Amino acid sequence: MQASPESGVALAHLSDVHLPLPGRVDWRDLLSKRALSLWSWRRKRHKVHRPEVLARLVADLHAAAPDLIAVTGDLTNLGLPVEYARARDWLDALGDPARVMVIPGNHEALVRGAWETGAQAWRPYWLGDDGGGFPWLRRRAGLALIGLSSAVPSAPGRAVGAVGAAQLARLAVLLAQTRKEGLCRVVMVHHPPLDGTVRARKRLLDAPALRAVLAREGVEMVLHGHSHRSHHQEMATAGGVAPVIGVPSASATHPEPAAWHLYRIAPVPGGWQIALTARRYAAGGMETSHIATHHLTRAHAAP
């Protein structure tokens, strides 16, 4: 059944997929920060990010048959062209670009130029309705889905991100425009926007500027990844309090078991109701680990 503004929409959220690396990496690709990341992958991270865990999670997601699927970055590990190509195959299996959307994470921009080289492989999955790039906007069944890119290269040992002044200016315009349209606005960014969510070496450098735009223009929900942990936080905006929610890695066994989130977003008088169900990987199969309902009162909501 196709979602409609009246009946609401089911939105799935997963992040930090970290698909397995190819068996062999050309040494010429390792004359950079990638060498350290490859060492980390082969030493321990390949034991944490398991393809069989990801496969079970995706099967569980498909069984729920969500209307829309959001992937908030880090599909790759080194940002290699071969990884981008493999990730495109994975995205194609996940769903049609009309209902699947993706934003990049810091691993997609592990070195300078990695995202710019690989981005075309995922182009249908990160384009907005107008064919434009970041921040892109997709209108679906009463939602305004807005994707930001915080993927920037950083020094070895750091995994910081930044949105940048140009994206922030465009974000303000999109939030104001879709508020006037009476839409429920969901913003996606890889790095958490709230201070203290991750260590300083992994933070969003311009988080205060992003929060200022969200607070001034309003937002109904912010989704992120990056920390590989569950986060259920809130922030105040001019329109009302908005949930800020992070999902664990979709393939990890540590520090938290892999998980994905299902948000059922429906209009109610004077706002929206967002019912969250968190599905977590467990030895015996997938299980529900968290249920919460957010009631959002908004003046711009359709009566």
Which CATH architecture is the domain 9-297 placed in? 4-Layer Sandwich (3.60)
Q: Which residues lie across from 10 on neighbouring strands?
A: 264
Paired sense of beta strands 287-297 and 259-268, if any: unpaired
Average pLDDT, integer, range 282-300? 95
State the chain's mean pLDDT as an integer: 94
pLDDT band at 297 (very low <50, low <70, confident <90, very high): very high
Phi, psi of 243 (to 5 degrees): -70, 140
d(CA 221, CA 162): 20
215: left (phi over 0), alpha (psi -120 to 50) or beta: alpha
pLDDT of 5 > 60? The answer is: no
Sole residue written with tokens 């937002």: 219
What pTM does this model have? 0.94
Kindly report, residue by residue over 133-153, the tens digit of the pLDDT: 999 999 999 999 999 999 999
